[in-house]
A and B are shown apart, each in its own frame.
Chain A
């Protein structure tokens, strides 16, 4: 052990106390309020047509946005750490920027770009491509808010592991792709995994920006977070909590999947 028993316990205590107060109690409250009306109620709440379509829409958008973002993230991380590149710091800061933009502003910016009088709106609409008030716009907004995750998770790991193994592989004649697939990717997989988990959680839970560009068309462009807001507005708090619980389940399932995949990678 690299730390004394005393230090270990005190760190554990501080960390868990912090978590308990900040995280576990609120989550406990949400769980309690969700299941207060009873499991049957919760079930019927999440199997309504509106909830079902919201569920599938959320999955659809997440399933498009997260893989795209992951690919971008890995490539960008490699570029930032391994390649010679001018203005790296600015590039990195730009990647982090999407977070700092409030959802309202993201919506505004996307309106200005893809809206009826926006820069690209009329051109796209003449070409028959519907971006805003439709799934692509929602995917764009989701990618926007998830952009930094995978990059930020992978970059520190890449720096930590160094590139000696890749150098060795190159020496032995491996191609770029082989080096990446066989050496780099397995080495960064925990960074990628947590990046994916975070992106997925964020993609599932994103409300503001998606809300503005979705048009909130019942049964078509209403995701789970939008459904939660809708139910809240209609004084259906129990229904709102039930839909949130569904979102939490998806997030947990993603983490579980990622952990299982990583463990399998370990066992190999």
Chain B
């Protein structure tokens, strides 16, 4: 299923008008119009609503903003949310790689079925996910564990809903991976672990980070599936999204917006940091 890369018949033609135009932007790019459209789309869909949100958060002035975000409950919820989301992202990175590997490079009975059900946590409405997780890990658990209303339960619920990210981020890259290098290395006597470490992993790294970033982002924003099993105990299992909902329900939309903005700021910083790591890792590539 992997494609073999065609190499040009010879070296690229020497400088000509065409080449100069081509080297100005990499081949296969979208040009100014494409870029403009994408930016416009992003602005309408994402930036505009976020701007409205930011404006609302400053409704009562900076003082009110600070009060809303520095309350003990707000800070505690934020800390818990970030920590548990980071853990979930890391677990997903590892598990996603293992699962994608098994699905692409391995073969076992039922592989197709497993491949098919990976996306179901996405397609499942959050209340059903919540009820099911409660049934599985809660007081009436068939396995005898009762993790409900603990921090572990929150992590489990988040792992459930973010599972597809870790897997599907790596899977297409793994499929497209050029086997030639691996085979060359193997024929030269490299051991499987070395091949993995030196050849496969660096190529997968950006995809793994991508999946981790998405898991993190989703975990930070998740609401429906954890709200039932977490019990929403303040200072223990209350996540920021529930705290924000409390503010909205108490007619404190400005406060809700403020905490949301801070949460987004933190999430954005982590996402940018992840991208920088990705680029740094990629810097030796084409």
What is the interface of chain A, defined by CB distance below 8 A to chain B? 1-4, 7-8, 11-12, 14-16, 18-19, 22-27, 29-30, 72, 75-76, 78-79, 81-85, 88-106, 108-110, 112-113, 118-119, 140, 143-144, 147-148, 152-153, 155-157, 159-171, 176, 179-180, 183-184, 187, 190-191, 193-194, 197-198, 201-202, 204-205, 207-208, 224-225, 228-229, 232, 237, 240-241, 243-244, 247-248, 250-252, 255-256, 266
Report the bound CA distance from A104 to B253 in whole Å: 11
Contacts of A23 in B (CB 8 A): 117-118, 120-121, 160, 163
The interface on chain B, measured as residues whose beta carbon lies within 8 A of the other chain's beta carbons, has a size of 121
Contacts of B164 in A (CB 8 A): 198, 201
Contacts of A183 in B (CB 8 A): 28
- Given A22-B159, A176-B31, A12 and B108 contact (CB-CB distance below 8 Å): yes
Report the bound CA distance from A181 to B200 in whole Å: 28
Contact indicator B286/A198 (Cβ below 8 Å): no
18 example contacts (A-B, Cβ-Cβ < 8 A) are as follows A3-B192, A11-B106, A23-B118, A75-B38, A79-B34, A93-B274, A96-B214, A97-B46, A102-B244, A104-B241, A105-B53, A109-B50, A163-B286, A168-B6, A176-B31, A187-B3, A202-B123, A205-B124
Interface residues of chain B: helix, strand, loop or mixed (majority): helix
Minimum CB–CB distance from B169 to chain A (whole Å) comes to 7
Contacts of B240 in A (CB 8 A): 102
Report the bound CA distance from A100 to B241 in whole Å: 10
Contacts of A99 in B (CB 8 A): 214, 217-218, 220-221
Contacts of B154 in A (CB 8 A): none
- Chain B residues 109-158 with CB under 8 Å of chain A are 114-129, 131-133, 135-136, 156
Minimum CB–CB distance from B216 to chain A (whole Å) comes to 8
Q: Which of A100, A109, A179 contacts B267 (CB 8 A)?
A: A100
Contact indicator B217/A100 (Cβ below 8 Å): yes
Minimum CB–CB distance from B233 to chain A (whole Å) comes to 18
Report the bound CA distance from A75 to B245 in whole Å: 35
- Given A12-B108, A19-B114, A228-B127, A160 and B203 contact (CB-CB distance below 8 Å): yes
Taking CB as reference atom, which chain A residue is nearest B19? Answer: A171
Contact indicator A225/B276 (Cβ below 8 Å): no
B41 at the interface (CB under 8 A from A): yes
Contacts of B192 in A (CB 8 A): 1-4, 7
Minimum CB–CB distance from A28 to chain B (whole Å) comes to 10
Taking CB as reference atom, which chain B residue is nearest A118? Answer: B52
Contact indicator B172/A193 (Cβ below 8 Å): yes
Report the bound CA distance from A147 to B221 in whole Å: 14
Report the bound CA distance from A16 to B81 in whole Å: 28
- Given A157-B176, A164-B8, A152 and B169 contact (CB-CB distance below 8 Å): yes
- Given A118-B52, A152-B169, A89 and B279 contact (CB-CB distance below 8 Å): yes
Contact indicator B122/A251 (Cβ below 8 Å): yes
Contact indicator B248/A78 (Cβ below 8 Å): no
Taking CB as reference atom, which chain B residue is nearest A3? Answer: B192
- Given A2-B192, A112-B52, A168-B8, A194 and B168 contact (CB-CB distance below 8 Å): yes
Contact indicator A162/B257 (Cβ below 8 Å): no
Report the bound CA distance from A148 to B45 in whole Å: 12
B101 at the interface (CB under 8 A from A): yes
Report the bound CA distance from A76 to B39 in whole Å: 9
Minimum CB–CB distance from A206 to chain B (whole Å) comes to 9
Given A156-B169, A250-B123, 15 more A-B residue pairs with CB atoms under 8 Å apart are A12-B106, A89-B276, A89-B279, A108-B56, A144-B49, A153-B172, A163-B26, A165-B5, A171-B8, A179-B28, A191-B173, A202-B123, A207-B224, A244-B125, A255-B115
